[in-house]
Amino acid sequence: MSEFPYRTALVTGASSGIGASIVARLRESGLEVHAIARDAGRLAELAEKTGCIPHAISVEDYDALKQLTQEIPFDVLVNNAGQSRSGNIAKTTREDIDSLVDVNLRAVLQLTHLIVPGMVERDRGHIVNISSIAGHYAFAGGNTVYHATKAGVHSLSQQLRCDLYGSHIRVTEISPARVETEVFGRLIGNMEEAKRRFFDEYDSLLPIDIANSVTFAVTAPQRMNVSFMEVLPTTQVVGGLNFAKRTTPKE
């Protein structure tokens, strides 16, 4: 096999933030990149800027994904699309649970299931899953369902390596901490307030940092699989211990 045998890539959640940066970096690496997102306008702008091929479809639209993956043999799949919500399990709605599971986990499983057989047949491919530190650590203030879905993506990444053992198909999980994207503005309904609260006084990661991490893994020599990468801001740590004071249970 040549040192860089990949020709085509599919990136989900590509209209902004991390996804758009990944599209741009993979295009710079010489790949034909197909970008999936729901926002047709932003995709058109991204296509004009990067030369990617836009597909204005939802990752929840299985039939559209199936048709696309049957038409194009993708060498690289970047499962980046994701959603989050605020609130713990007691404050989460049924609709929030369904939406997070559908986008963050079900769509990743379905799209991977559609693309992997072709990779196996060609004995060539690379699956990159964008997870989160929320899938590895429990911390107060995080959305329980979001944590659970990202833990599922982590488990999927591990099991895929077992499924693909002996082939030349690589699996990489990129697990970022806080990245300065629009997701925080959507969570609280005000991007300016989110910027003030979460970013102005912090050195957070930028989307290009995650895109560079993906590109490093994808363009690495074929003998090398970057299986897991946890990417943190220099001034952030994970984990921690909280100890609540004793209280009297309610009767």
Tokens describing residue 210:
């995650």
8 A C-beta contact, residue 204 and residue 17: no
Distance CA 243, CA 234 (A): 26
Enter the DSSP assignment of 85. -
Going through the chain in order, the beta strands assigned E by DSSP cover 8-12, 32-37, 53-56, 76-79, 125-130, 169-176, 228-231
The catalytic site residues sit at 146
Strand bridging mode 76-79 / 125-130: parallel
Closest CA to 109 of 86, 135, 81: 81
